[in-house]
C-alpha cells in the first residue's frame, strides 16, 4: 500500500512539473493583484508614546509587507497624559488617517479605550453615575426579613418559592468595569491596569451618551474621510455587565421589564427567581425566555442604534458581539463579525466542536442572508508567544473556507517595551519573527478575500439556528463529509424568506434541504413555514429535538450518520473525494464566468485523492500566495499537504 501511495505521489509531481506554472495566464487581473480594500486590517495597538514620524514610518512598513489598512486601537500602555479622545490622541489619529489617505489605504476606528465597548473609557459614568452598568440579583430572605437595599439597590419583587423560602429580586450596580488605557505603577512590581467603570448599554439614555462622546466626536473630527479612507467603526464585544463585576448578577434592570414583557407576551417578573433556581416546572423555559428577551433588548437599545448611525454616516458598523453564536445581533452590522481568541480554535477537535467552532459560519451566513458584501473575523488574540507562522496561516484558511472575507489580525504592536510585550500576545506583525515573509501571507489573504466577495456561493443545505445558538454537531458531520452549508436564523422563515415546494429562497440562495438539529424554542410564527417544507420533503429533523411529530412528512434521523445519509438522498453532490478524508473542507463560489473551489486540508496528514466536482471544463489550480496557476485535469490525483489550501478554478 505504501508503494502504491508513493507511486501516485510521484506521478502527481511529474504531472505538475510537466504542466508547468502559468503566471497569470487567463486569470482575472483582480485575483493576481486584488484592490487594497481586500487587505487584512490588523488591530494596530497604540500602546506607548505616540510620535508623528513613528506613526508614518510604521504605516509605510505595513504597505511594504502587503498590508493596506488597519484598525486604530488605543491600547493599554499609552502615557497617562494621553487620555481617551484627548487632543493628543485626536492629533495622532489625524496623522495616521491622513497618511493612510495619501497612500490609498483604509482605516477602521475603534470605539472604546479598550474593551468591552460602551463606556467611552469611563466617560459615560463620569457624565452621569446612574449610567453605570447594572444587573439583576437575588437576596435570599429569612422568615420576616426585609431585603437590604443599600448600595443603590432597587427592589423589583419578593417571590415565595415552591419550597416555602422567600427571595428578593433586586436591580443593582453590576460593579463591572472595562480594561483601560494606562498602566498604574509601570516599572514597579505592583503593576496594575486602569479599569474604568462600564456603562449600562441596556439603558437607551446611557447609549445615547456613549454615542455622543464617541461616534458624534468621530464624525466631527474625521467625517470628511467617512466612506473613503475610513470604512467603519469597530465595536468590541459589548457586555451589559462589564468585566469583573459582582458574582451572581445577571444582565437586566427594572426599567427593562416592560420591554421584556412586550417581547415575551407575558410578565416574567413573578418568575425571576427561576434565573437562579430550578424549583418550578417551567424554570428552564423562563431562563431561556428571559435571556432571549435581554438579547433582543441589547440588539434594539445598542446594536440597532449604532448600526443606524453608521449607515446614516456612510460607513459600516463593524466588530462583533460578545457571544460566538450571537448571529441575531449581526443583523445590525453592515459588516457582520466574530472573534477567535485564547486558542478557542486550533487544529484538532476545537476546529469542529463547541460554540467557538461556529464563529466563521456565523458571520458569513449572516452576511449572505442579509445581502451584505463583507463579513469579518478578529483572530489570533492571546494565542501566546508560542504561536507559529503555520498556525497563523492555518487559522486564516480555516476562516476563508467557511466564507469569511475580511480578517482583522490581533495584533500589530506599536511598541513591545516592558509589559507591552506580554499584553495579550503575540504581535503577529512587525515584531514577529516572520515579518520578513509576511507579504506571502498578506497577499494570500487578499486574494481569498477578493474571491469570497461579490461571488455567489453554491450551497443547497441550511441548518436552522436561533439568535444565540448555532448547532455544532450537525455542522461537524457536514464538514467531515464535504457537505457545505449555511446557518439560517429561524426568524428569516417569516421575515424575508420565500418558502415553496422546492425549499427556502433567501438573498439569492436556494436551500433544497433544511436541517433541524436542536432548538431551544419553536416560535409559533415558524410552524406554518416548516410544515410546508415538511410536506414537500425538504425538512430533516433530529428525533431528540422533540419536534418531529409536529411536522408531518419530515425525515427524522436518530444519529448524525443517519442525517448524512438522508441529506445525500435529497441533494445532488457538488463536490466529493475519490479517496475519502474527514480533513478536507471546501467552498464553491461562482465569480464572473469562473467556478472556484476553495479546498483546504484542515488536518495534519497528507491527503492524496481525486477531486470530483459537479462542474466540468478547463481546470487550473491557483496558488493564493503567489497568484500563479498550474494546469490540471479532471482525473488528476491531487496531493494536499498538511494545512494546505488550494483553489481549483474551472472555466470554459
pLDDT in tens, 90-125: 999 999 999 999 999 999 999 999 999 999 999 999
CA atoms within 13 A on the CB side of 118: 34
Gap between the Cα atoms of 9 and 3, Å rounded = 10
Q: Quote the pLDDT of residue 495.
A: 97
Q: Quote the pLDDT of residue 25.
A: 53
For residues 544 and 442, the answer to whether their CB atoms sit within 8 Å is no
pLDDT tens string 350-377? 999 999 999 999 999 999 999 999 999 9
Gap between the Cα atoms of 226 and 141, Å rounded = 55
Of 436-450, 462-476, 546-560, least confident by mean pLDDT is 546-560
Whole-Å CA distances, 651 to 612, 637, 645: 15, 19, 20
Gap between the Cα atoms of 318 and 365, Å rounded = 16
Which tops the pLDDT comparison, 3 or 480?
Answer: 480
Gap between the Cα atoms of 60 and 67, Å rounded = 9
Is residue 9 pLDDT above 60, yes or no? no
Is residue 2 pLDDT above 50, yes or no? no
pTM for this one? 0.93
Whole-Å CA distances, 19 to 171, 180, 265, 376, 631: 71, 57, 67, 37, 6
Gap between the Cα atoms of 449 and 32, Å rounded = 12
Question: Which neighbouring-strand residues pair with 584?
Answer: 601
What number is the average pLDDT over the span 432-446? 97
Residue 494, burial from CB neighbour count under 10 angstroms (0-12, 13-18, 19+) = middle
Structural domains of the chain, with CATH:
38-120+203-239+294-452 (3.20.20.80), 459-573 (3.40.50), 576-651 (2.60.40.1180)
What number is the average pLDDT over the span 245-262? 95
Gap between the Cα atoms of 571 and 498, Å rounded = 19
Beta strands 498-500 and 503-506 are antiparallel
For residues 530 and 488, the answer to whether their CB atoms sit within 8 Å is no
Is residue 548 pLDDT above 50, yes or no? yes
pLDDT tens string 160-172? 988 889 999 999 9
Amino acid at each position: 500500500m505504501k508503494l502504491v501511495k508513493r507511486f501516485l505521489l510521484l506521478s502527481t509531481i511529474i504531472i505538475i512539473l510537466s504542466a508547468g506554472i502559468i503566471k497569470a495566464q487567463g486569470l482575472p487581473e483582480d485575483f493576481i493583484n486584488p484592490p487594497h480594500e481586500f487587505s487584512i486590517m490588523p488591530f494596530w495597538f497604540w500602546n506607548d508614546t505616540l510620535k508623528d514620524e513613528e506613526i508614518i514610518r510604521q504605516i509605510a512598513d505595513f504597505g511594504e509587507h502587503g498590508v493596506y489598512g488597519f484598525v486604530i486601537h488605543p491600547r493599554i500602555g499609552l502615557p497617562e497624559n494621553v487620555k481617551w479622545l484627548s487632543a493628543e490622541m485626536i492629533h495622532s489619529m489625524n496623522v495616521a488617517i491622513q497618511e493612510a489617505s495619501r497612500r490609498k489605504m483604509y482605516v477602521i476606528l475603534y470605539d472604546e479605550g479598550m474593551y468591552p465597548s460602551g463606556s467611552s473609557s469611563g466617560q459615560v459614568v463620569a457624565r452621569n453615575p446612574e449610567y453605570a452598568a447594572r444587573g439583576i440579583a437575588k437576596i435570599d430572605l429569612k422568615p420576616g426579613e426585609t431585603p437590604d437595599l443599600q448600595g443603590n439597590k432597587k427592589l423589583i419583587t419578593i417571590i415565595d418559592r415552591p419550597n416555602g423560602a422567600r427571595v428578593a429580586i433586586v436591580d443593582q450596580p453590576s460593579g463591572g468595569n472595562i480594561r483601560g488605557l494606562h498602566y498604574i505603577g509601570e516599572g514597579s512590581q505592583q503593576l496594575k491596569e486602569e479599569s474604568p467603570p462600564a456603562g449600562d448599554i441596556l439603558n437607551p439614555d446611557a447609549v445615547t451618551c456613549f454615542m455622543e462622546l464617541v461616534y458624534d466626536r468621530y464624525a466631527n473630527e474625521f467625517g470628511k474621510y467617512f466612506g473613503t479612507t475610513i470604512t467603519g467603526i469597530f465595536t468590541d464585544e459589548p457586555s451589559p455587565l462589564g468585566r469583573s463585576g459582582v458574582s451572581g448578577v445577571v444582565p437586566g434592570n427594572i426599567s427593562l421589564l416592560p420591554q421584556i414583557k412586550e417581547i415575551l407576551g407575558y410578565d416574567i417578573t413573578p418568575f425571576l427567581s427561576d434565573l437562579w433556581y430550578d424549583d418550578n416546572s417551567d424554570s428552564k423555559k423562563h431562563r431561556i425566555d428571559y435571556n432571549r428577551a435581554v438579547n433582543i433588548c441589547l440588539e434594539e437599545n445598542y446594536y440597532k442604534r449604532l448600526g443606524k448611525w453608521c449607515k446614516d454616516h456612510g460607513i459600516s458598523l463593524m466588530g462583533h458581539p460578545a457571544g460566538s453564536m450571537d448571529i441575531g445581533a449581526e443583523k445590525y452590522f453592515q459588516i457582520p463579525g466574530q472573534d477567535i481568541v485564547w486558542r478557542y480554535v486550533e487544529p484538532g477537535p476545537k476546529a469542529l466542536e463547541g460554540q467557538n467552532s461556529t464563529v466563521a459560519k456565523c458571520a458569513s451566513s449572516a452576511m449572505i442572508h442579509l445581502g451584505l458584501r463583507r463579513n469579518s473575523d478578529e483572530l489570533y488574540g492571546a494565542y501566546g508567544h508560542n504561536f507559529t507562522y503555520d498556525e497563523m496561516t492555518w487559522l486564516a484558511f480555516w476562516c476563508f473556507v467557511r466564507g469569511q472575507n475580511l480578517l482583522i489580525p490581533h495584533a500589530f504592536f506599536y511598541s513591545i517595551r516592558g509589559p507591552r510585550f506580554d499584553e495579550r500576545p503575540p504581535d503577529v506583525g512587525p515584531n514577529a519573527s516572520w515579518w520578513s515573509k509576511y507579504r506571502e501571507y498578506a497577499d494570500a489573504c487578499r486574494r481569498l478575500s477578493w474571491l469570497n466577495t461579490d461571488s455567489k456561493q453554491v450551497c443547497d443545505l441550511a441548518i436552522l439556528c436561533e439568535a444565540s445558538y448555532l448547532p455544532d454537531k450537525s455542522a461537524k458531520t457536514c464538514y467531515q463529509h464535504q457537505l457545505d452549508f449555511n446557518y439560517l436564523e429561524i426568524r428569516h422563515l417569516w421575515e424575508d424568506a420565500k418558502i415553496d415546494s422546492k425549499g427556502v429562497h433567501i438573498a439569492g440562495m436556494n436551500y433544497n434541504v433544511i436541517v433541524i438539529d436542536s432548538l431551544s424554542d419553536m416560535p409559533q410564527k415558524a410552524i406554518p413555514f416548516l410544515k410546508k417544507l415538511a410536506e414537500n420533503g425538504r425538512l430533516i429533523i433530529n428525533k431528540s429535538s422533540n419536534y418531529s411529530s409536529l411536522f408531518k412528512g419530515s425525515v427524522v434521523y436518530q444519529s448524525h450518520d443517519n442525517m448524512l445519509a438522508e441529506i445525500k438522498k435529497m441533494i445532488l453532490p457538488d463536490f466529493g473525494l475519490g479517496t475519502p478524508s474527514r480533513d478536507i473542507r471546501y467552498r464553491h463560489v461562482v465569480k464572473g464566468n469562473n467556478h472556484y473551489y476553495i479546498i483546504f486540508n484542515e488536518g495534519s496528514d497528507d491527503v492524496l485523492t481525486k477531486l470530483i466536482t459537479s462542474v466540468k471544463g478547463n481546470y487550473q489550480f491557483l496558488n493564493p500566495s503567489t497568484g500563479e496557476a498550474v494546469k490540471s485535469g479532471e482525473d488528476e490525483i491531487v496531493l494536499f499537504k498538511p494545512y494546505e489550501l488550494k483553489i481549483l478554478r474551472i472555466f470554459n
